[in-house]
Chains A and B, each alone.
Chain A
Amino acid sequence: MLFKFVDFIVDGSMNMAVSSSFSRTIYSEIEEVGWEHLVKLAEDLSFVTFRVVDKKERVHVLEIILDKSYPNCPPSVSADVPYLFNLEWSANSRLNDVVKQFREHLEKLQHFWSAVEDIDQSLWVFDSAQLHRATSLRRINIGNDCSIILFIRANEPRSLPECRFLGSDKYVNMLRDKWRRNSDKWSKDKLFGENLANLLEFQLPGPPGVEKNDQPIECGICYSQFLPVDDELGPKSGGRTDYTCENSTCSKAFHSVCLGDWLRSITTTRQSFDVLFGNCPYCSQPVAVKISTRK
């Protein structure tokens, strides 16, 4: 910590007076929150982050931005939450009050997180790796190449969510009708899986039981792990990615069917017997794919 004071002295005596009293304020306020909660303090004291653990042992990080006007003006805060709280600030408020209000806010959000956890554990949620604590929507596989996006209301997580249907028009229109017709069957006391089954009139698939160390990889072209099940694809129907770009800094995975389709659609590709020679769509390094014979 000594270095900081040295820096301020170099800045000039005027700055030093302001800065050292400012930093003394900040340090004593961090002390009050507890150094064990501190994650990071910017070298120029422009922001500070604290770790806050909620009742369910979820770890949250609160960032507090301190500008020169602090503590006369309230600091701005940011965190990975679906919505932020309105900071109450008075002449004698301190960092500890920010943390306290954040804790109260986390308390309010417990229902939201338990609702989305219910969804994540009982339904087939897509792209779960990209989801943050703040994410209030979920895309759910409902089978038949269809999915729905649920927009969970953060302040009323158990109420009927807004829903978008994605898939073939015919099937989606049928589901949308059912959803509209049955929407009064939604009950705040029931779990999501049960509510969705009541509205859509069928049981939704649960999460895929994939083992962690055998996670299938997504294809860089179709963005799916598995090819569609389709007679036209012959033995490759429903298959996993089976080609990886040999450039080790790229290593993108593809279905050879998808990569072959792409290479065949551009004019720069060369073919020799049943092998297509072209370039990886990601890194442009040469690739060679054996094409499958289709019916």
Chain B
Amino acid sequence: MTSPSASSRKALSKIATNRLQKELMEWQVNPPAGFKHKVTDNLQRWIIEVNGAPGTLYANEVFQLQVDFPEHYPMEAPQVVFIPPAPLHPHIYSNGHICLDILYDSWSPAMTVSSVCISIVSMLSSSTSKQRPADDERYVKNCRNGRSPKETRWWFHDDKV
């Protein structure tokens, strides 16, 4: 997904650059289980491979997450989306947008890419049915011009899955 905001986004601030270098190093030493950071030299966009946890509905499936960092990370949340095809899940839209509070209102600089990844895999793992959100078609249509999920006013349904 190449949103217009991605091409016009500003370079990382010094603070963001320093912090991301540290996060990347910590990731290399101690990566979260089931995730693989695809090696690139682009600090501002991470592509992460996600393996569905064994014993869950998504076992043996592989997905890709795209994580884009704003100029003032970690004061602002990173933009995290699945690169379609996104997993079939009641909180994941077919365009890859994820309805998960910590990516928007509940973000805090105490979180890291790694802790976000762990939240996403636990959201997948607790799913009991493979289906799209009820309003998928309407939402995806609304985002057609490449709108960032961070511009969506999210309404967090429940915390069951």
Interface residues of A (CB under 8 A from B): 126-127, 130-132, 135, 137, 139, 145, 147, 149, 164-169, 172, 176, 220-224, 227-228, 230, 258, 261-262, 265, 281-282
Contact = CB atoms under 8 A, between A and B. Distances in A.
Given A127-B22, A139-B21, A221-B74, A258 B28 contact: no
A223 B25 contact: no
A265 B75 contact: yes
Contacts of A126: 21-22, 25
A262 B109 contact: yes
Contacts of B29: 127, 130-132, 135, 137
B113 interface: no
Contacts of B18: 145, 222-224, 228
Contacts of B61: none
Contacts of A131: 29
Nearest to A130: B29
Contacts of B28: 137, 149
B108 A281 contact: yes
B134 interface: no
B150 interface: no
Contacts of A258: 15, 109
A147 B21 contact: yes
26 contacts: A126-B22, A126-B25, A127-B29, A130-B26, A131-B29, A137-B29, A139-B25, A145-B14, A145-B18, A166-B41, A168-B17, A176-B41, A221-B74, A221-B75, A222-B18, A222-B74, A223-B22, A224-B15, A228-B14, A228-B15, A228-B18, A258-B15, A258-B109, A262-B108, A281-B108, A282-B110
Given A165-B41, A172-B41, A145 B109 contact: no
A149 B25 contact: yes
Q: For chain A, what secondary structure do more than half of its interface residues adopt (helix, strand, loop), or is it mixed? A: loop
Given A261-B75, A262-B109, A281-B110, A222 B25 contact: no
Interface string B41-56: 1010000000000000
**Interface size, B (range):** 20 to 34
Contacts of B21: 126, 139, 147, 166-167
B19 A145 contact: no
Nearest to A226: B18
Interface in B1-31: 11, 14-15, 17-19, 21-26, 28-30
A24 to B, nearest CB: 38
A181 B119 CA distance: 43
Q: What 5 A-B pairs are tightest by C-beta distance, nearest first?
A: A228-B14, A281-B108, A281-B110, A221-B109, A223-B22
A99 B23 CA distance: 37
A281 B108 CA distance: 6
A249 to B, nearest CB: 14
A253 to B, nearest CB: 13
A172 B24 CA distance: 16
A139 B23 CA distance: 12
Interface in B75-109: 75-76, 108-109
A228 B18 CA distance: 9
Contacts of B24: 149, 166
B76 A265 contact: yes
Contacts of A130: 26, 29-30
A224 B41 contact: no
Contacts of B41: 164-166, 172, 176
Contacts of B25: 126-127, 139, 149
B19 to A, nearest CB: 5
A118 to B, nearest CB: 20
A149 B20 CA distance: 13
Contacts of A220: 109-110
